[in-house]
Amino acid sequence: MLASSSEGAAGTAAWLEGPGRARGSAQGPVTCGVSGYSRVFRGVFKKEKERMADSHRLLSDLLKPIADHIQEIQQYRERHRGSSLFNHLSAVSESIPALGWVAVNQKPAPYVKEMNDAATFYTNRVLKDYKETDRRHVEWVQSYLSVWTEMQAFIRQHHTTGVTWCRTGPVAPPPPLEGAPSAACPPPPPPPPGPPPVLHADGAQTQADGVGGQTSALFAQLNQGMDITKGLKHVAEGKKTHKNPELRSQGSPSHAPPAKASKPGSTPSMAPPKRPALLELDGKKWRVEHFEQRHDLLIEETELKQVVYIFDCNNSTIQVKGKINSIIVDNCKKLGLVFENAVGIVEIINSKSVQLQVLGNVPTISINKTEGCQVYLSKDSISCDIVSAKSSAMNILVPVGEDDFREFPVPEQFKTVWDGSRLVTEPTEIAG
């Protein structure tokens, strides 16, 4: 259980029964088309409350119910990529690991803020799409983001340096079996094995407890003084090795090394099944998903109102001809993308080692959460805006002459100073 003051325990209950519960219930109106998402969201907050009041069992066991609910939320988002509320689902999916703050050893509030920032990336899209058409979505964004801001305030007040677990508290009973889900919402498919990385418990504390117990037992024996000899047994004359040399020649009996106990959660897990590759036009969206080792992917019959969404494609090359509205590259590795014209934004997100070539014109290229991105511009697209965030190893190649390019790295390091009235930020380099 938590080794905190009564004020901290009261604050925990007050937050989970107040803002946490209220915001969890507020998911219903907007997510009416995906009601199961709201149900799981409320469920994970319920598990958070139960675990906060639990005992000192292994942290991984304590947090497993929370991890299972987080996985269910993230899998729900993956199964509904075609939903009109995909940005809503993404905001929840990207930020829900914040509930793992109880496993953060030092100052968990910044960790929750980082998850809140991840949600803001998608809620900004929601505001952009609905601020002029449907006020309910704006209210949903405000309500949802307040979950994490109020959680940060709660953590700073009651658990500034992390949760302290009581080692001498009672052992928690096993969690009760939950009732079967209602017929209106079919049970979700089993989540992939293993909890999210943010909820993995560190075994160092368990090992430290074992060593501490052995040390305490040793000092307890030493403190007995002369009484410690009372536990010795008398050895007969015939069994003393210094009086019977033949006993020394026999050697000590060999002992087989004890079998190592398997660690909890160390069972090898099965890899998730590979999803089938897909290239199709779904309404106004070209979906290019789950391709491996393909360098002949081509989209030809394009229209100005269509968008291209490329997801989970690795070591592949895609060419888009004609004029398209926008292109999104999400969760791809070693991907090559060649396109002619885009009237909107071309966005690279959550990817690694991406090469992008513009043959015609594009107004904006956005690079977010990406490691390694090469952008080849054409003469018509030199004036485009390039926006980057949380990315590294980005290079822009500008055409020089007919068939040559000159490479310019995008700054990753900045210096910020106060000029007396405002903050001034500029790129900087440190020679090493």
Question: Read out DSSP for 201-229?
Answer: PPTHHHHHHHHHHHHHHHHHHHTTGGGGG
Q: Which DSSP helix (H) or strand (E) runs through 279?
A: strand 278-282
Predicted confidence at residue 181, as pLDDT, reads 46
Predicted confidence at residue 293, as pLDDT, reads 93
Give CA–CA dist 318/288, Å, rounded: 9
Predicted confidence at residue 80, as pLDDT, reads 83
Predicted confidence at residue 393, as pLDDT, reads 93
Residues 137, 142, 147, 152, CA torsion sign: positive
Rg, the chain, Cα only: 30
Please say whether the beta carbons of 317 and 338 come within 8 A.
Answer: yes
Give CA–CA dist 71/97, Å, rounded: 9
Q: Using one digit for the tens of pLDDT, what is the confidence trace for 368-414?
A: 999 999 999 999 999 999 999 999 999 999 999 877 899 999 998 88
Give CA–CA dist 153/146, Å, rounded: 10
Q: Smallest Cα–Cα separation from 152: which of 120, 119, 112?
A: 112
Please say whether the beta carbons of 341 and 319 come within 8 A.
Answer: no
Q: Smallest Cα–Cα separation from 149: which of 177, 113, 106?
A: 113
Helix pair 135-158, 109-130: axis angle to 10 deg: 170
Please say whether the beta carbons of 109 and 155 come within 8 A.
Answer: yes
Predicted confidence at residue 1, as pLDDT, reads 44
How many other β-carbons are positioned within 10 Å of the β-carbon of residue 406?
A: 10
Predicted confidence at residue 376, as pLDDT, reads 95
Please say whether the beta carbons of 342 and 324 come within 8 A.
Answer: yes
Please say whether the beta carbons of 1 and 165 come within 8 A.
Answer: yes
Give CA–CA dist 5/160, Å, rounded: 13
Q: Smallest Cα–Cα separation from 66: which of 16, 121, 130, 138?
A: 16
Give CA–CA dist 255/278, Å, rounded: 59
Residues 101, 107, 112, 115, CA torsion sign: negative
How many other β-carbons are positioned within 10 Å of the β-carbon of residue 298?
A: 11
Predicted confidence at residue 107, as pLDDT, reads 80
Vertex 339 angle, CA 338 and 345, to 5°: 115
Give CA–CA dist 206/58, Å, rounded: 8
The tens-digit pLDDT sequence of the chain (432 residues) is: 444 445 555 555 555 555 555 444 444 445 444 455 556 566 656 655 555 544 444 566 777 788 888 888 888 888 888 888 888 888 898 888 888 877 777 788 888 888 888 888 888 888 888 888 888 998 988 888 888 888 888 888 888 887 776 655 555 555 554 444 444 455 555 555 454 444 444 444 444 455 455 656 665 665 565 565 666 666 666 666 666 666 665 555 555 555 555 554 444 555 567 788 999 998 899 999 999 999 999 999 899 999 999 999 999 999 999 999 999 999 999 999 999 999 999 999 999 999 999 999 999 999 999 999 999 999 999 999 999 999 999 999 999 987 789 999 999 888 999 999 999 998 887 544
> What pTM was estimated for this model as a whole?
0.46
Q: Using one digit for the tens of pLDDT, what is the confidence trace for 126-156?
A: 888 888 888 899 898 888 888 888 888 888 8
Q: Where are the domains of the chain?
A: 6-169, 278-427
Q: What class has domain 278-427?
A: mainly beta
In the DSSP assignment, the letter for residue 283 is T
- Fold (CATH) for 6-169: 1.25.40
**Beta strand pairing call for 345-349 and 326-330:** parallel
